[in-house]
Structure 1
């Protein structure tokens, strides 16, 4: 769990390759014509969606006029994109989510707002099965079991001192559930997680009224500097959708979500102690 697989080097390499192309004043159309590639192939490379073979890096760098030192550095980075994280044992995990798992594994701070359900990192096994069973893909029992195991394995990162996990969830997530025993188990699990020093859980009560997070759930991931020679990953906002996800790291995109987060923190969410009392109250109600 300590390593992020290939996600971080893939994204770093993709950014460097895109910067080289843009510095060479080549459009995507010009680049793919010269390389005789498809547009999706170049897009997947530049966005870090897939590993990149060093030979492909060499071809791109020669087209973009990169110096020999840069070419060798990027080919070395390309070799890192072949490393694998624990999730590669699960072939059914889509590429867009594998990218998130790698980023989640190396982030040093994770901030998450959730409106309808308890976040995956804090779910109990019965609750995870109940939630995953509602997927639009209608998973089989075997798929549901594998997906549940992945969700539980993700939680191993919380046994470390890093990342710091800050969660704000709507009270609706405490009220919406499949059955009493499952919800009591989940809310008890939530309270146990809240005892850990690196985890903060706060609740937005239904009485709070309108707030800036009306557009829906998101995750903000911050990253440490790996080495003095390599820039840290930029803060990235992850927004999941039924069949894919958005990875937003442009300054204005991050700033917009930071503003939403601050509105939740400063104006809308209950404090940790008040949130704990509300969770305990909802757990008692589910037990009746």
Structure 2
């Protein structure tokens, strides 16, 4: 794990400590000086880009007057922040090339979220892709080494395996652009038929909706994911791109994306109906 890859435990710990610091009107530099650390270290802890020892968390809790019960919870998060993530084996080879440096936070949240809303305009969403479809998709993208491509496919397969094995199963909402479906016609018959069968298979799972856009819609600006963690952590928007990933956490902006998703969903039909 690199220090630039925040995890759920790190992010939850950092947010809690930041909230308590701000409630005491302390700057990061002031909080750091109180326990013998720099303001930059406090910033990295709060942003979740640095794991920290339980003793540091205990010192900050003491400075902020945090209750023993919450201190116990936060020190547990500090211990968990050092654990190896399920996704790490797929980052060991050419990590920076294999995936986006900050994507682990999204991968972890996806596996614990109670609900996930996904909008994809041009491709079948990753959680619905067959391995054969992903190979064709990779061939159409910018060149990458065989090793990196295989690593990415392994990550995608494991991601699906973990999610579809969850109990209780989360609510999944997919809104897909018609282009993503229509592009299947240009693929080898086996790839096309296998991907269509996979879409229908997943659509039949309780708690899953897969819908296809058939009209102009509010989300024409691009694709995005909204995971809903279901605990004290608010939902956020995750957007993947060629040059890296982007997280949007400001509640007002996240709400705009939620409204966009809802508006776009109104311009859809069930995937079963579209494929008839």
Instruction: Give me the TM-score of the superposition, normalised by structure 1.
Output: 0.78
* Alpha-carbon distance, 1:204 to partner: 0.2
For the residue of structure 2 that corresponds to 1:26, the secondary structure is coil
Map of 1:162 onto structure 2: 169
CA distance in 2, matches of 1:73, 1:66: 14
Map of 2:248 onto structure 1: 248
| Residue 151 (str. 1) matches residue 156 (str. 2) | yes
CA distance in 1, matches of 2:50, 2:140: 29
CA contact 2:228–2:235 (8 Å) conserved in 1? yes
CA distance in 1, matches of 2:263, 2:46: 33
Question: Of the candidates 186, 198, 204, which is equivalent to residue 195 of structure 1?
Answer: 204
CA distance in 2, matches of 1:44, 1:214: 35
Map of 1:219 onto structure 2: 225
- When structure 1 is superposed on structure 2, of 193-202 and 157-166 the one drifting more is 157-166
Map of 1:123 onto structure 2: 129
For the residue of structure 1 that corresponds to 2:206, the secondary structure is coil
| Residue 174 (str. 1) matches residue 174 (str. 2) | no
| Correspondence list, 1:38-57, <5 A | 39=40, 42-57=42-57
For the residue of structure 2 that corresponds to 1:212, the secondary structure is coil
CA distance in 1, matches of 2:53, 2:100: 20
* Root-mean-square deviation (Å): 2.7
Map of 2:3 onto structure 1: none
| Residue 114 (str. 1) matches residue 120 (str. 2) | yes
* Alpha-carbon distance, 1:129 to partner: 2.1
Question: Where does structure 1 lack aligned partners over 5 or more consecutive residues?
Answer: 1-5, 226-231, 281-288
Per-residue CA deviation, residues 52-93 of structure 1 (Å, 9 max, x unaligned), is 32244245446x544473544422221122233321222235
Map of 2:274 onto structure 1: 278
Q: Relative to 1, partners in 2 of residues 1:134 and 1:27: Cα closer, same or farther, differing over 3 Å?
A: farther
CA distance in 1, matches of 2:252, 2:67: 34
How many residues are treated as equivalent by the alignment? 259
Q: Relative to 1, partners in 2 of residues 1:54 and 1:278: Cα closer, same or farther, differing over 3 Å?
A: same
CA contact 2:31–2:39 (8 Å) conserved in 1? no
CA contact 1:133–1:144 (8 Å) conserved in 2? no
For the residue of structure 1 that corresponds to 2:102, the secondary structure is helix
Question: Where does structure 2 lack aligned partners over 5 or more consecutive residues?
Answer: 1-5
Per-residue CA deviation, residues 169-194 of structure 1 (Å, 9 max, x unaligned), is 10011123562333332222212221
Instruction: Give me the TM-score of the superposition, normalised by structure 2.
Output: 0.81
Map of 2:193 onto structure 1: 184
Q: Relative to 1, partners in 2 of residues 1:246 and 1:33: Cα closer, same or farther, differing over 3 Å?
A: farther
* Alpha-carbon distance, 1:33 to partner: 7.3
Map of 2:82 onto structure 1: 82
* Alpha-carbon distance, 1:19 to partner: 1.0
